[in-house]
Structure 1
Amino acid sequence: MKLNTTGLFLALSVTSALTSQAIAANRVNLDEGAERSQLISISELVEQHQFETTASVKLNNDISKTKLQQMYKGIPVYGESLVSTASALRSAESFSGDLITGIEQDLADVMPSISENESVSILAQHWNHDLIKVSQPERNLVIWLDEKDTAHLAWQVSYVVYAKDPSRPYAFIDAKSGAILDTWDAIAFAQGTGPGGNAKTGRYHFGTDYPAFDVKEVNGTCSLDSANVETLDMKHQQAGGSIHSFNCYENTSREVNGAYSPLNDAHAFGQVVFKMYKDWYQTAPLTQKLRLRVHYGNSYENAFWDGRQMTFGDGATRFYPLVSLDVVAHEVSHGFTQQNSNLEYKNQSGGMNEAFSDISAAAAVYYHTSSFNWKIGDQIFKGSGSMRYMDTPSRDGKSIDHAKDYRQGLNVHYSSGVYNRSFYLLANTQGWDIRKAFDVFVLANQMYWTPRSTYDQGAVGVVKAAVDLGYCVDDIVYAFNKVGVNAGALTGQGCKDIPTDRPPLAAFDASVSGKQVTVTDRSSDDKGIVGHQWSFGDGAMSTQPNTAHTYNAAGSYTVTLTVTDTTGQTNSSSQSITIVDNGNCTTPLWDAGTIYLKGDKVSQAGKNYEAKWWTQGEDPTQTGTWGVWRDLGACQ
């Protein structure tokens, strides 16, 4: 592509990439205000690097945003993109995001030694799947960066296995060695007329209580097919299925598990979701036609997105058929996320992925009924209760309300609580509603989130979206602050009637080394911070802005910072940290998020361990005799 670069210069820190002897690419942040050391023009940048346009959005203020996927020798650099900004009033562009330089230091060539079919076999063998049961295999060659930003030529591989418990393994496989670099299960759970609803909602009728839904008519036979949505009857099978047809125009098929016509519900609500995205954002939720598969399996109590289509079970003892509007919107929006930010379905990004689908569910119900009760799945939940509660996620007994409660490996449905609650808080802020709050999350998903975004990085993306739309940044910063997520400083940008004396905003960074935690204040206030009070969770306190503390014992601790401004107003922020007593070990400490290959050595709780084969997330102290880790004895 050709970028318009007239008269614009950016300072880029490229010297280290050109002179460093270390084998690792270099990450250069192009955001306004980032630290840089060398000035080069955008035209030089374009000559040195390759980009491909993946999305464009034109905002109401005559500003255009374009998402640029970074490429290297024609191969996409996974998860790395820039956002360019241009207006009709000026020819220059500004850029936001990270640029990866120096990839050539890591990759001598981009010719794979492992074929794309071999990559599927490697993944199937790892997950113990029979190749004959593999459906929809997808293989793409990418440049994949590890935690140290070392570049690998890799196959991005996924497939689907349809079974009683469907699975969608997803992996990055080194295209030179065949080693699995990362892997996880990416399956994302969760005008005709006729009846709909269930025993809990009551029976309603499409065509009278709700608008009729679009169908295709041929010679008096109607089918659940329209320009944007098609609905298949799986007839309780796990494969196959066909578009449901009936004598025009009333479809009464068919009552299942207390529901009057799950086929009608799914088809009608799929059209509602499509219309919401089209009416509000002038975009379709998916690049392809929405395909909804109903009556999957026998007594299947779930719904899922498999990378191409949405599938809904009939429920059993816990759920009615899972075809309520919020559930349909949830699954469709997993597809929207995959085709935009592609948030990885694990870690904090997985929680964001799940939360965006819940947020979309709230938006769809609001679009359809002009109200929402902040419960997900309550209309299909047998008895009292709900699947999730966005106002107080912890009400379900498993989800978290605050980032300090996040831990590595937490189920993404439970870690979604942090963003769900932040959205609830934002939508209920004066001057906001569900539609307006959804605006910034949609644009962040389209432009600013990347596959590995953390809570903090995602929140910064929402703030950038607010700036683009002219919405109040401070409201977003406060909403995220209340759930322990740092979205940046209070700037007042886009805000009207700003109070003359706002409360401070507490924020800090924490890093752990051995038994010591180092904390750095990132708080902000319109008039200035005059007091700091640190609590380290073991009784120790400090009043220094930046300090360090050494713990006496291993364990989990909550670090809390309370700041005071010049008028005596206070605000607090907390983070959870884990201190591990590793004795005299010099071998690197085991990390739950790191992938280990055969022969890799780690230490944990004063002992050394060696991996027998590929592993991620299995604690060496819990592995047992037949587990993946070989006990090498105490550290000397």
Structure 2
Amino acid sequence: MMKKLLLVLSIVLFSINLFANKEQYNYLELRYKSEEDNVPTYWSFSEEEAPSEGELEAILAEFIKSNDDFSYKVVKTETDELGFEHKLYKQHYKKYPIEFGELRVHVKNGKIFSMNGTISDKAPKDNLLSLSESEALKMALEYIDAKVYKWEVEAEESLLRAQMGENATYFPEGELTFISKDATVNHEALKLAYKFNIYAHEPMSRSEIYIDASDGSVVFKNSLIHTGNTQGTAVTGYSGTRTITADSVSPSNFRLRQTASGNGIYTYNMQQGTTYANAIDFTDSDNYWNNANANLDEYATDAHWGAEQTYEYFSTKHNRNSINNNGFALVSYVHFASNFANAFWDGQRMTYGDGAGALSPFTALDIVAHEIAHGLTTFSANLIYQSEPGALNESFSDIFGAAVEAYARPNNKNWTIGEDIGFSLRSMANPNLYGDPDTRGGNNWRNVNGCIPSQQNNNCGVHINSGVPNYWFYLLVSGGSGTNDLGNPYSVTSIGMDKAAAIAFRNLTVYLGRNSDFDDARFYSIKAAVDLYGACSPEVASVTDAWHAVGVGNAYVPGVIADFETADTLGCQPPYQVQFENNSSNGLDFFWDFGDGQTSTMRRPSHIYNSFGNFDVKLVIDGDSCGVDSIIKQSYISIDTSNLCAITMQDGQTQSINDCSGAVFDTGGNSFQYLDNENAVVVVEPQNAASVTLTFNQFDVESGSSGTICDYDYLEIFDGNSINAPSLGKFCNNNLPPSTITSSGGAITLQFYSDQALTRDGFNIGWQCTYPTAAPVVDFESSSDSTCTGEVQFTDLSTEAPSSWVWDFGDGRSSNVQNPTHKYDVNGVYNVSLIATNLIGSDTIVKQGKIIVSKPSAPAFTDDTFCVNQNATLNAMASGTARWYADKYSNTVLSTGNSFSIGQLNQDTSFWVEDYISSPSTYFGPTNSIGNGSYWSVDFYLEFVVYKQMLLESVFMIPNSAGFRTVELRDTNNNVLKTKGFNIPNTNPYQANLDMIIPAGHYRLAVQGASPANNVPDLFVNTSGVSYPYTEPGLVSITGSNAGSSYYGYFYYWKVKEPNCLSERAEVFAFLDTSCTLTSIKDNTLNEKEGISIFPNPSKNVLNVKFEKSNTFNKMFVTDMTGKVILEQGIDVNAAKTVRLTTTSLSNGVYFISFEGNEQLVRKKFIVVK
């Protein structure tokens, strides 16, 4: 089976990783974050096989369950200089968006060349909507707990309306969305939540708050404040005298506004206040901005000039019209608050404080560019502000802060951030200098695993761990060598600022998404380098080596590498099909030589060998500028009768295998994934075998919905030669099989099932049988030695694996089934014998007086007489419930009750009646009041002994919530004998009706274990007051639990009873009274004189009735063989001579049609055949 391309690649660049799928699409590359994921995070296609954009949902349907409930909406489209359209799709479940469910589709000329992102593959598990929007908002505001909010400041609301339109407001409007606490799209973690954008005025903060729509808890918080047209001349505070563009209000009045760049650049004076509406313009009388003063106004021109230079940089170097590529106005507010030593982007503008103490205003060029770059991130990847995504968010701002500084002040460029304000915040060239890491997992690294974001831990190290990608960028620009904190040597060749920044820019704006981490940044920066500079280029090598230097991924492996494999190397006879998997790196053209005179130029060929032999296989790949490589595998394919023949399961079939050894593959074979909607069975039953052992060589079957439940795709193993044999387990990826499974006898059955969506690699299972070494030693047991029903289940206990059985039940009947069920009809004491045989010999056992049948006496009854086509009423006097049957051995109950009425008889007819006597039920076992306890979700069972066959009718369970749980009856080896699932309501206690007939023996009653994260109800367990045994005398005793003698749980107050009794059957007659005066019923051939014919006969959907003589009948009706009236229709005596009767509702069989009128009755027989 082909394996998925994992997150950390050992080689880069279009490594040709092709995988078994449903064969609708040929993928050049699929990338998964982990082996457990069902949906890739990256897809790519070759130019010649790229699908159309209209096929997007068909592609996703190959990976996503319940695809009809998901939809994808384009929320943004951008075009780059390479001619690609980059479309951002938002995933929705039903009508609600999935917060981090995003897909970036990269299209050229209407064809999808690649796409990447994270989307959910299954329906969110928690979609309960209990709260109103106003209730959720109240809880969100209680969580923020601010003194004043922006919408409560009328001046701020007025300013927003002036800037954004008359309907604009800061008041939060709730949006329902699905989100998880861990920023994933895992369906089990997703919760329906209200999303609010809350801007607090005092104390200042702005965050997206997500409130669980079911219980009001805070699911997630995303901080939105990221801390971090006349030519004029400005004497800036940090960058000397610079040319700026200002707005000329009059010849002697200029202000720091301009509209030449996008939708404008505006710089305002907050006057050390915190209300944006109170900000005023910076003004100058002659447009020579030499405005140094005690208010530090000279630093305002740094903010204005810095914004102009940042806009110009992105426009010139990256062809981007402002941060949103649509001219977004760059608005700066200077002199924010008093002694405010920070700067921030709040989602709509930049704000700069004047510093405090020795720190001067935060308007230095690299800081300005840093804050504006946060806006670029908001309008592109929109990285969440926590953990590694947040560190990337900060790093990209540092990267473009350094890039803008190099662009606008090439003579004063450097690798420190904020050095102009009197204190360097970070060093990109030496992150350790300021306590930041330069290696993932190295010195100063802030661990993000299990970290809960907060202000105290810097949102899990966003400003700290940014040192890692910062150092990556420094090495990419400048080059360097050494040994990192992990002890790995590295060497990086410089590619310069422009190329490095172009790669970083494309990575951020084209590929990365909201929860991208460092591994994603590595992978997609390599893709960006390939896009811009080509495969195997020096730029690709440097990008890869720089990531290796900072502890993310392996070093670059240069050139072309030819490699291939197949799982189909051994065949037992021709024709033999082999699917080759191409694992080469950086190849563009391919040439295969299969060693039998045939060749191919396909990337991933399938080839059929038509003769016996050993075959060399050669692959030559041409990577253009990357080079050429080839590989030969000697005698790689062997087709010989001595090779083991493997079988592939076939959908819709039951295959029987008699070989002692072999291998079985899922329906996809050894090279492909299995398909949807399949049900296949294989029975391995080698002749005369003692046992069969399955060995699981490979197993990959879609996980079930929760816990250890396999309810989507699964493989179930049965201990016998059919799916009716005892189950040895149902397996999938969240309930993996053991390494081996051995049958108790000479047969084992495998059933594979797949549902309507999501497929995986499947399985490769070997089997090996053993043969008996001695003749059988015979023994057997029965479900009961004494029965009042006559029904007994016999179980063979013979050793040495017999292959045939002969039972003699002592009543003149026999069976050759291994474990037969037999029904005795007559009371008595019966000897039972069994002969068991294997290939060594036979053995016999006779158990004298083994079965005692003591059925109650048949009920007393009375016969009845009847006239033709009239009812007969038969009566019985049962002490329980009378059951009526058509014959002595029938299992079909015609009627119940002491009186049985039957009509439309035309001859003497007998029926059979029995007395069904229900045993009384009794309750036993404790309630949960015996002591203290708690709720458990783990696999827990009670051990109990059944002294004689009984019916376990029900138990009480005490859940803590609603959900699905499965109850299992197991033997003492934990083999599952019977199961029953329950959708438990939020009811305490809950009575679970089991209705399990259990023979005498030792058992365990269990509930399948489940993880607490899977939202199944936990069940109550007493941890004190327990006193075993709990007994119903003579019938059953609960003796202990798997947790020990101090624990009792899951199953309370058992309702049990002995089996119900059935009497012998008595024959009761209905006699025809020939003295009645009605016309006798005749067959069709005897009724011609009546002048009625029916056709066609047999009939399908219509029966025509033709009256040859004058019609005197006014009604006709159809009865079945028991006399029950099925159809009835009136007849108009004055109508046409032909009447149509619709028989569509009748099933195949024999029926009678009767005609009634003028004191006459005529009946004819007809047949329905569909």
> Normalization by structure 1: what TM-score?
0.66
Verify the 8 A CA contact 1:119 1:157 in the aligned structure 2.
no
| 1:68-98 residue CA offsets vs partner (Å, 9 max, x unmatched) | 232334533222222223334xx43133224
**1:143 paired to 2:145:** no
**2:25 paired residue number:** 9
Alignment of 1:23-34 (within 5 A): 27-32=39-44
The AA in structure 2 aligned to 1:276 is Y
Verify the 8 A CA contact 2:389 2:517 in the aligned structure 1.
yes
**2:428 paired residue number:** 390
**1:276 paired residue number:** 313
TM-fit CA distance, 1:108? 5.7
Distance 2:469 2:103 in 1: 24
| 1:454-497 residue CA offsets vs partner (Å, 9 max, x unmatched) | 21122212122222223532211110111111278646569999
**1:424 paired to 2:474:** yes
Aligned in 2, Cα 1:46/1:420: closer, same or farther, shift over 3 Å?
closer
Gap regions ≥5 residues in structure 1: 1-6, 13-23, 34-38, 501-585, 589-598, 600-635
The AA in structure 1 aligned to 2:380 is N
**1:80 paired to 2:130:** no
Distance 1:335 1:138 in 2: 22
1:358 aligned to which of 398, 408, 418: 398
TM-fit CA distance, 1:587? 11
Verify the 8 A CA contact 2:234 2:244 in the aligned structure 1.
no
**1:44 paired residue number:** 58
**1:128 paired residue number:** 145
Q: Secondary structure at the match of 2:441?
A: helix
Verify the 8 A CA contact 2:365 2:405 in the aligned structure 1.
yes
**1:400 paired to 2:450:** no
Distance 2:210 2:523 in 1: 27
The AA in structure 1 aligned to 2:43 is D
The alignment of Structure 1 onto Structure 2 pairs a total of residues equal to: 468
Distance 1:469 1:196 in 2: 39
**2:211 paired residue number:** 173
Distance 2:265 2:470 in 1: 28
Distance 1:272 1:113 in 2: 50
**1:155 paired to 2:187:** no
| 1:478-526 residue CA offsets vs partner (Å, 9 max, x unmatched) | 10111111278646569999899xxxxxxxxxxxxxxxxxxxxxxxxxx
Distance 1:71 1:488 in 2: 39
**1:342 paired to 2:382:** yes
1:412 aligned to which of 440, 445, 462: 462
Q: Once superposed, what is the RMSD of the aligned Cα atoms?
A: 3.8
TM-fit CA distance, 1:390? 0.4
Verify the 8 A CA contact 2:124 2:191 in the aligned structure 1.
no
The AA in structure 2 aligned to 1:229 is I
Alignment of 1:501-512 (within 5 A): none
Aligned in 2, Cα 1:104/1:298: closer, same or farther, shift over 3 Å?
same
Aligned in 2, Cα 1:297/1:463: closer, same or farther, shift over 3 Å?
same
Distance 2:84 2:137 in 1: 43
1:96 aligned to which of 115, 118, 121: 115
**1:315 paired to 2:347:** no
**1:453 paired to 2:516:** yes
Aligned in 2, Cα 1:348/1:25: closer, same or farther, shift over 3 Å?
closer
The AA in structure 2 aligned to 1:211 is T
Distance 2:498 2:174 in 1: 37
Q: Secondary structure at the match of 2:551?
A: coil
Q: Secondary structure at the match of 1:361?
A: helix
TM-fit CA distance, 1:373? 1.2
Verify the 8 A CA contact 1:194 1:264 in the aligned structure 2.
no
Distance 2:409 2:286 in 1: 28
Verify the 8 A CA contact 2:27 2:43 in the aligned structure 1.
no
Verify the 8 A CA contact 1:58 1:65 in the aligned structure 2.
yes
Question: Which one has the bigger helix percentage?
Answer: 1
The AA in structure 2 aligned to 1:143 is F
TM-fit CA distance, 1:51? 2.5
2:551 aligned to which of 484, 493, 496: 484
Verify the 8 A CA contact 2:232 2:244 in the aligned structure 1.
yes
2:533 aligned to which of 461, 470, 473: 470
2:299 aligned to which of 262, 268, 272: 262
TM-fit CA distance, 1:113? 4.2
| 1:330-351 residue CA offsets vs partner (Å, 9 max, x unmatched) | 1111111112111111111111
> Normalization by structure 2: what TM-score?
0.37
Verify the 8 A CA contact 1:254 1:263 in the aligned structure 2.
no
Distance 1:323 1:496 in 2: 49
Distance 2:399 2:133 in 1: 36
Verify the 8 A CA contact 2:307 2:369 in the aligned structure 1.
yes
Distance 2:24 2:103 in 1: 16
Aligned in 2, Cα 1:379/1:353: closer, same or farther, shift over 3 Å?
same
Distance 1:231 1:225 in 2: 6
Distance 1:281 1:481 in 2: 27
Distance 2:235 2:529 in 1: 38
Q: Secondary structure at the match of 1:413?
A: coil
Verify the 8 A CA contact 2:106 2:112 in the aligned structure 1.
yes
Distance 1:233 1:465 in 2: 40
Aligned in 2, Cα 1:127/1:497: closer, same or farther, shift over 3 Å?
same
**1:223 paired to 2:258:** no
The AA in structure 2 aligned to 1:181 is V
**1:373 paired residue number:** 414
TM-fit CA distance, 1:357? 0.5
TM-fit CA distance, 1:101? 4.8
Aligned in 2, Cα 1:469/1:125: closer, same or farther, shift over 3 Å?
same
Alignment of 1:98-117 (within 5 A): 98=117, 100-104=119-123, 106=125, 113-117=130-134
Gap regions ≥5 residues in structure 2: 1-22, 29-35, 46-50, 62-66, 153-169, 449-456, 480-492, 560-585, 588-622, 629-935, 939-960, 962-1046, 1048-1170
Q: Secondary structure at the match of 2:201?
A: coil
| 1:363-402 residue CA offsets vs partner (Å, 9 max, x unmatched) | 1111213352111111112xxx521110011101x21111
TM-fit CA distance, 1:280? 1.9
The AA in structure 1 aligned to 2:547 is F
Verify the 8 A CA contact 1:195 1:260 in the aligned structure 2.
no
Aligned in 2, Cα 1:391/1:59: closer, same or farther, shift over 3 Å?
same
TM-fit CA distance, 1:31? 2.3
The AA in structure 2 aligned to 1:77 is I
Deviates more, 1:184-193 or 1:348-357: 184-193
Specify the structure having the higher radius of gyration (Cα): 2
Distance 2:506 2:625 in 1: 25
**2:275 paired residue number:** 239
Aligned in 2, Cα 1:123/1:316: closer, same or farther, shift over 3 Å?
same
| 1:189-247 residue CA offsets vs partner (Å, 9 max, x unmatched) | 1235354344xx5x822xxxx22324243464322111221111001101131333333
The AA in structure 2 aligned to 1:67 is L
Verify the 8 A CA contact 2:149 2:201 in the aligned structure 1.
no
Verify the 8 A CA contact 2:323 2:376 in the aligned structure 1.
yes
Verify the 8 A CA contact 2:353 2:362 in the aligned structure 1.
yes
The AA in structure 1 aligned to 2:516 is S
Aligned in 2, Cα 1:56/1:443: closer, same or farther, shift over 3 Å?
farther
**1:306 paired residue number:** 346
The AA in structure 2 aligned to 1:236 is Q
Verify the 8 A CA contact 2:365 2:401 in the aligned structure 1.
yes
Q: Secondary structure at the match of 2:119?
A: strand
